[in-house]
Structure 1
Amino acid sequence: MTQQQWTAVDTYLTELLAPADEVLTAALRDSDAAGLPQISVAPNQGKLLQLLAQVQGAHRILEIGTLGGYSTIWLARALPADGHLVTLEYSPVHADVARGNLARAGLDKLTEVRVGPALDSLAELVDEGAAPFDLVFIDADKANNPHYVEWSIKLTRPGSLIIVDNVVRSGRVADAATTDAAVQGTRAALELIARHPKLAGTALQTVGTKGYDGFALARVLD
């Protein structure tokens, strides 16, 4: 298999099962125009996030890493009318783009974009006594992945889902001798999921328009 084949299959699956609409297309367009990196989830991955949130019956969602709000839109569309999504973004520029995209999508009343280092924002949520989140999507700086998982456990409830994106790192995750901080952080997060008594999880490899990668999925236990 080649990248060309992976992309062709993704194109077919996306056009069939996760077709673009003006809101999602505009979100990507505005993100590109603002110079944001082109690292949003693929459309079929966004649809998967939406379906997982719907299957979960999520009323409260936490996203760590907003970028331009593309994945935020997919997740927020799964919420009921009284639902709420909090998304954490380090860059004020990215956050402004995301807010505009969420407002265009009609989701600004359901969503809250918090700006600053995610570890600080997560600590603030705990200090505020934030109600437990039903689903957490982690897609930020990979070196801090184990810390994000730890905070996510504190901010969830038994039965909640924690999803960690980009865990395969083009296969480099299998390299125990790596000096790459992103891979080290990802390995530490996976090892935490494996040993933590409050988590049951797994991870899958994926291929597609974004290349060779994967994600981890963990359920919070009693």
Structure 2
Amino acid sequence: MNSLWKQVDDYYNEKLNTMDPVMASVLQANKKAGLPAIDVSPLQGKQLYLLAKLKGAKNILEIGTLGGYSTIWLARALPEDGKMISLEFSEKHAAVARENLKRAGVEHKVEVLVGPALETLPVLEEKGFSDFDFVFIDADKSNNPGYLKWALELCVSGAAIVGDNVVRNGEVVEQESEDEGIKGIREFTDLLSTDSRIDSTAVQTVGSKGYDGFVLGIVEK
């Protein structure tokens, strides 16, 4: 990671108040619980919050909860009667996330469901969860294609879909990569380019999380 990138992140974090005491305590709780430090950065969390606010999101789906850091940013963007479903593979991570959601005072807006997301997604509608207007995909990259397919099925027209970590230090351009995550991102991108139900773009990013990027798409059904 370029040290200047972190300095710029630190500058804007301070100027734009992206790291409040609650969010700082969430990161500390995640660290204490031994969770991997792969949360979105404070600036990226604020970006998710603003994107959901701009969309006027009322019904959010998140794939990949971890300790709930990005979950809280998105839940804060919801109106009081808004709802968010977050899918997490690990029961340990989900337990930490639920405590963090309480710490942030947004637990009444969020339900964390535990299990492999590709097993949970097909039964969401029968459980009464569908018609999502904002989706954040931030789980194992090898399964990104499946996550996108289900997101498109479960979204309403006009929904926003954000896919994180799609550049991977530029490794996404390596056509012959044997990395399952890179393969998943490339297939995910192929689906974005061919499915008429979504119009999307990609943005490269640098900062405290290194060199990466995200995809932003709008569903058009």
Same fold (TM over 0.5): yes
- 1:132 corresponds to: 131
Higher mean C-alpha displacement, 11-20 vs 92-101: 11-20
CA shift for structure 1 position 128: 3.0
1:181-220 equivalent positions in 2, closer than 5 A: 181-220=180-219
For 1:24, the equivalent position in structure 2 comes to: 23
Whole-Å separation in 2 of the counterparts to 1:127 and 1:166: 30
What residue in structure 2 maps to residue 64 of structure 1?
63
Checking the alignment, whether the CA contact within 8 Å between 1:164 and 1:215 is kept in structure 2 is yes
Structure 2 CA distance, aligned partners of 1:74 and 1:18? 13
Higher mean displacement: 15-24 or 135-144: 15-24
| Structure 2: 5+ residue stretches without partners | none
Partner of 2:174: 175
Count of paired positions: 221
Residue 142, structure 1, aligned to residue 141, structure 2? yes
CA distance in 1, matches of 2:193, 2:130: 26
Map of 1:109 onto structure 2: 108
Residue 12 of structure 1: aligned partner: 11
**2-structure distance, mates of 1:154, 1:84:** 18
Counterpart residue identity of residue 169, structure 2? S
Q: CA RMSD in A?
A: 1.0
1:59, 1:215 → 2: CA distance?
22
* 2-structure distance, mates of 1:180, 1:60: 33
Shift of 1:21: 1.4
| 8 Å CA contact 1:18, 1:44 repeated in 2 | no
Aligned to 2:92: 93
* Amino acid of the structure 2 residue aligned with 1:219: I
Distance (whole Å) between structure 1 residues aligned to residue 194 and residue 142 of structure 2: 19
Cα deviation, 1:69-101, whole Å, max 9, x if unaligned, reads 000010000000100010000000000000000
1:89 and 1:217 map into 2 onto residues whose CA distance is 22
CA drift at 1:124: 1.3
AA at the equivalent of 2:40: V
TM-score w.r.t. the length of structure 1 is 0.97
- Residue identity matched to 2:126: D
Measure, in 1, the Cα distance between the counterparts of 2:50 and 2:60: 13
The AA in structure 1 aligned to 2:30 is S
The unaligned stretches of length 5 or more in structure 1 are none
Q: Which amino acid aligns with 2:182?
A: V
Deviation at 1:139, TM superposition (A): 0.3
Native 8 Å contact 2:18 2:46 kept in 1: no
Conserved 8 A contact 2:166-2:172: yes
CA distance in 2, matches of 1:11, 1:146: 34
The amino acid that maps onto 2:218 is R
The Cα of 1:129 is off from its aligned counterpart by 4.7
Runs of 4+ aligned residues of structure 1 deviating over 4 Å after TM superposition are: none
**Residue in 2 aligned with 1:78?**
77
Letter in 2 for 1:162: I
Using the alignment, how far apart are the partners of 2:192 and 2:130 within structure 1? 22
AA matched with 1:193: L
Query: Matched residue of 2:216: which SS?
Result: strand
Letter in 2 for 1:172: E
State, as a whole percentage, how many aligned pairs show the same letter.
51
CA distance in 2, matches of 1:87, 1:165: 15
Q: Which amino acid aligns with 1:132?
A: D
